[in-house]
Amino acid sequence: MLINTFLLQAAAPQQGNGALMTILMFGAIFVVMYLFMIRPQRKQQKELNEFRNSLKKGDKVVTVGGIYGEIVEVNEKTALIKVDGDVKLRVDKQGLVKDYSETAQK
């Protein structure tokens, strides 16, 4: 009985260290997730928003659906793109993903 009481008293401080280590481990996992997942995603989203806000007439773009076109008109939320000949499509600016004018020239 005396030995069991002694063992329980000796183990009590280790439980406090175990809880602290668990908290530190979760903190380290959160920091790693932030550095490798959340931060790059925010950077990519910021670049995409800057691209969409800087659209102007004559820019060559690609929609989310894979349609290539040239901007004819830009409004606050939409853009009119010329696809082929006289075919024009009005698309939401959120559906435009990249400018391919540099790659189209090569």
Summarised one tens digit per residue, pLDDT across range 38-89 is 999 999 999 999 999 999 999 999 999 999 999 999 999 999 999 998 999 9
Rounded Cα distance, 4 and 65, in Å:
69
Rounded Cα distance, 78 and 90, in Å:
7
Quick one: pLDDT at residue 106? 47
Return the CA Rg of the chain: 28
56-105: CATH, from 2.30.30.100, 3.40.50.720, 2.40.160.20, 1.10.1740.10: 2.30.30.100
User: pTM (2 decimals)?
Assistant: 0.63
Q: Give me the residue label for tokens 């559906």.
A: 95
